[in-house]
Amino acid sequence: MPRNPSTGVYSKPAGTTPSVGQVIDPVPWNALTTDLGNEITNSLPRDGSAPMVAPLKAASGTVSAPGIGFASTPQTGLYLKGGGLLGFTQNGVDVAFDKASVYAAKSGDYTALASDDNAVLRFTATATLLLTAAATLGANWRIAVVADGGDVTIDPTGSEPIDGAVTLVVPNGYSAFIICSGSAFFTDKLMTRILTKADVSSVADYFIDLVPSFVSTTSISVSSGSAFCSGKSFYIPAALTKVFTSTFVAGNNGGILDTGTIAASKTYFIFAIRRISDGAGDIVASLSSTPAGVTMTNLSGWEVLSGSRVGIVLSNNSSQIISFKQWGNRLKFFDAILELSTSGAVDNNNFNCAGMPDGISVDGEFLIHNVAANNTVSNIRADTEKTSSSSSAAANLFLNTFSAINLQIGQRIRTRPDGLIWVNTGVSLGSATMELYSIGWFDYTARRLAA
């Protein structure tokens, strides 16, 4: 076949160029027409009716004139870059494509190399990731680091910085995306901001659900829920029953007290706590109304964060939990607690209700009862502080009656920070019995959302 297989140049057979008047020799002329037929058959049809049967070789081209282009847009197509690399151009502009991502698990220290470009490294244990010199790795080198079993310390070569620091720690359970500029390393800044609590340190502490409920005179349960306190998040995935018969033991049916044994007529503050190692949640009870006052002797490996108080329970004079029902931040006793019953004069500005928490302010819910005989003038008043006018009292049940009467009202009164209120009674004529009952409270300082 006269087409040169290396160059593709066609040369017709010898003896096929006749002159005027010459008799055509049929042998070479038939060879020519056979060759032409073969080469037409072997040519690629423009209508695409037949495929190539050997590799298609295109011109190398350039970014502005690609070797394979398009008739309508000749500057868009494929061309051969230096070093035998394939290039893609759109309207004369080179298009870069990412390298394929490579996953690798590491169980110890590792040095990242240039070949790790665009890799995802998952560390299953505490480790240090050393970074080769930035100049060696080059600009645009990047890597993703996942800490899945321990903290991972990112340590660049020499004094080369990462996010402006000498090293960067990726805490267990977190990840970081690292990029090389050719002279230094930086991240997407998310990890740096988490470690410095930027953007989250100013967010108010809060929790969702984690509602206590009465189980028995020695135990309570707390519903599942989550919390974000002191810039840290944790959660309890399922309801926990906790017992007041022993000090803290993690998990369902474990002890709840931070120290000691349940005592008589006490206020116990219920806190959601966080395990430092993995962010798991649990519950502890303390006589302290603040996280700082919780005894940590039995809470090794745990932390009590600000804003994590989820409830309050009271014990009676027999060292038993007073039965209650709670919805959000509102608690109500199964049975009202009689605080005061008198037929005479009382004026107590530091009245300590047995049915109200000690050492903390709540919106106490009370029933005020005045039972008066014929021809009686009597009064029972209650408020946060002592008031001089009956009309300014938060709760006032004043009777001036010619016949016997029995009246009862419900009232919410905010207790003072020490848990005290003011109560006043008096009978100026006739006889009456005046009573005050606690029926529950609204814990307005608990930071439960949608309470």
* pLDDT tens digits, one per residue of 330-383: 999 999 999 999 999 999 999 999 999 999 999 999 999 998 888 888 888 999
Decide the pairing of beta strands 432-442 and 395-401: unpaired
Q: What is the mean pLDDT of residues 2-11?
A: 73
pLDDT over 80 at 256, yes or no: yes
Residue found by looking up tokens 């009956």 in the block: 390
Residue 39 banded pLDDT, cuts 50, 70, 90: confident
Would you state the pLDDT for residue 389? 62
pLDDT over 60 at 201, yes or no: no
Q: Using CB atoms within 10 Å of the CB of residue 127, give its burial: 0 to 12 exposed, 13 to 18 middle, 19+ buried.
A: buried
Q: What is the mean pLDDT of residues 158-177?
A: 89
Contact 187, 179 (CB under 8 A): yes
Give residue-wise pLDDT tens across range 310-332: 999 999 999 999 999 999 999 99
Would you state the pLDDT for residue 292? 95
As a whole number of angstroms, the distance between CA 58 and CA 61 comes to: 8
Would you state the pLDDT for residue 406? 79
pLDDT over 60 at 393, yes or no: no
Contact 326, 211 (CB under 8 A): yes
The Cβ of residue 347 has, within 10 Å, a number of other Cβ atoms equal to 12
